[in-house]
Structure 1
Amino acid sequence: MGKRLGKGGFGSVYVGVRKADGKEVAIKRAERNHHDKYISIPGETQNLPLEVALMKMVSRPPRCENVVQLLEWFETSRSFILVLELPNPCMDLHRFCKQNNLRRLAEPVAQKVIRQVVQAAQHCHVRGVFHRDIKPGNILINPDTLEVKLIDFGCGELLKNEPYSDYSGTCFYCPPEWHLHKKYSAAPAVIWSLGIVLFELVCGKLPFKSKEKIVDGNLRFVSGLSHECCSLIMWCLKRQPECRPTFEEILNHRWLK
């Protein structure tokens, strides 16, 4: 184990080196508690910690290059230890946008980034996984190539058709239906969070900073954005969940073409 990369409510993440081949990895150590959820995944009988199970589901081949891969995991009496792919070089997208006072990304850069994030979210859904916390802090980017990877499934859940009645993601990215009805469906909630991320990338700030403003849904764009970019953001941030686009419709939108 090497230096610590980050610390949060979940535990800590460290740089590590795999002895077998010298591969650099990330080691995530999550504290155990009596609320931990265990599930079994299709094709296996073993009960796994929820985050481990979700990561195994998205890491099975054919894998998506835009989702970080689970390499190994271990369980001790006090914690779970996940050994994860570690791109090099990389930083989280929030830091990337803030470096050199950049704050907001040029549209061609934002296009390349958000296309990959949408592909990562779509891959999760195809695999039956609801990430539930898509935000710049959970997206790694290679500053040289602009390749991105979605990380941190600690707030995730199995995908289901029924509405969810609990929310464990970041409040600034949650959809208005949660505040209005205390229920939300997975796909429209993810599309909403993708719209928030895209707004943040091209405007350099969050569109809404309170639940009242999330419900109101009034968007104020910075000057200079293309009409196509604004139209995609407004589509993703429709108040009515059923009016938001699908993953395919985002990827086929004229702004991303």
Structure 2
Amino acid sequence: RFRFSAAEGTLCVLSQNLLPAQPRKHKLFPLLERCATDYEIISFLSVLSHRSVCTARCKYSGQTVCLKVYNKKKLSNESRGFQMSLRQVYREVRNFGKVTGHENIVLLFCAFENDAAVVLVQEWDPLFASLTTTFQWQRAKPNVVANLASGMLLALRRLHSLNVLHGDLKPDNVLCNSKTGEVKVLDFGLSLDLSRETPSFPTGTLPYCEPEVVYSLLLAPNSEAQRCLQHRFSSKASLKSDIWSLGVIVFELSTGILPFDSMIKQKCIELIVYSDVQSNCELTGLQEQFINRALTKDPERRPSAEQLAADEFLQPKRLSQIWQKFHESISCHSLQDTCVPKLCGPYNQL
């Protein structure tokens, strides 16, 4: 386990601009600068060789937070497979800071680093649990699924309006409050700011990955049909990639199973690329329509988060029409300026 040490000294912190442009109800830290000794660890939530996640208490405010701690000694110079790089961690901090402040996205209070670690200080609410923990592969009622899908789409609309791809949307990375129905997206470790960089290799969790990305992982195509598909899936990850992942999650919540799944990696990839979503008796007509739209294999025909939010599964038909007309009427207006954090150290040099 990687633990904090008082001997690590004062850590570099982000500027106050990392706080959201529209602060929500939470206790702001009375001091701007933060270091590892400012927190008392309560319990560890997960421990990996390169990263630990724990709950901690701020000694100054008394607020309980979630600390995501990256051990620099275990990070590589370049991202390879499951091995993360320091550059990727800096990218996570920058992108997380760019999108934070939305009610459907976990709040990032600040981040700091020293020679040993990079630490992200995030909000913690014990009433929230991941979709995996909450449902445990059990089917959810259609109205519950619709509410969860709406919350995820609100988060995606925020990300995509800022040209940020989440890149790893899955039940483990979506929190919900089972009492209030609130939804929050977290974990921007594989996120990309598409206004700054272009995806260069497949990322994400395989059963939730989109066909245009995993196609490159298939063995060399042999048939004419496969060569035609290669032309269709020649594009790389885009904002539409998150929409596909959302469709997989909605199918899984609705049926208790994944639409494309196999213990064998190549078989799973083939299912994602070549197979259609199978009809399921657990799905209502509107659920099936929503899922089929989200799981459109051609990314150019796949709806955006804005378009999918107006689907009848999420809203009554008349309200759906009003919603669509409203967004068409404001589509010509520019997006509201967002508060982009000014990050210290090497963050902005990426």
User: With structure 1 as the length reference, what TM-score do the two structures score?
Assistant: 0.88
- Determine whether 1:22 maps to 2:62: yes
Contact kept, 8 Å, 1:217 with 1:237, in 2: the verdict is no
Structure 2: any 5+ residue segments left out of the alignment?
A: 1-40, 79-84, 218-234, 262-267, 316-350
Cα distance in 1 between the residues matched to 2:99 and 2:295: 26
Q: Which residue identity is paired with 1:175?
A: E
Q: Which amino acid aligns with 1:200?
A: E
Whether 2:262 is the aligned partner of 1:223: answer: no
Residue in structure 2 matching 1:6, options 30, 34, 46: 46
Tell me how far 1:13 sits from its aligned partner: 0.6
Q: Which runs of 4+ in 1 moved over 6 A?
A: none
How many pairs does the alignment contain?
Answer: 243
- Superposed CA offset, 1:167-196 (max 9, x none): 221111111112335742312211111111
In the other structure, the counterpart of 1:67 is 105
Q: Which residue of 2 aligns with 1:179?
A: 214
In the other structure, the counterpart of 1:56 is 97
Check the 8 A contact 1:162/1:185 in 2, yes or no: no
Match status 1:103 vs 2:141: no
Alignment of 1:99-178 (within 5 A): 103-160=138-195, 164-178=199-213
Shift of 1:164: 2.6
Distance 2:134 2:181 in 1: 10
Offset at 1:10? Answer: 4.9
Q: Deviations over 1:136-160 (max 9, x none)?
A: 0001111211211111111112124
1:43 is aligned to none
1:78 maps to a residue whose letter is: A
User: Is residue 192–residue 199 contact of structure 2 (8 Å, CA) maintained in 1?
Assistant: no
Distance change (3 Å), C-alpha of 1:9 and 1:58: farther
- The Cα RMSD (Å) is 2.0
Aligned to 1:239: 297
Q: Is the 8 A contact 2:255 2:282 kept in 1?
A: no
Distance 1:65 1:8, change over 3 A: farther
- Higher relative contact order, structure no. (Cα contacts within 8 Å, ≥ 6 residues apart): 2
For structure 1, the 5+ residue unaligned runs are: 40-47
Give the fraction of aligned pairs with identical amino acids, expressed as a percent.
30
For residues 19-50 of structure 1, the C-alpha deviation after alignment (integer angstroms, 9 at most, x for no partner) is 222111101101223334559xxxxxxxx911
Quote the offset at 1:243 in angstroms. Answer: 1.1
For 1:219 and 1:38, the matched residues in 2 are separated by 37
Larger radius of gyration: 2
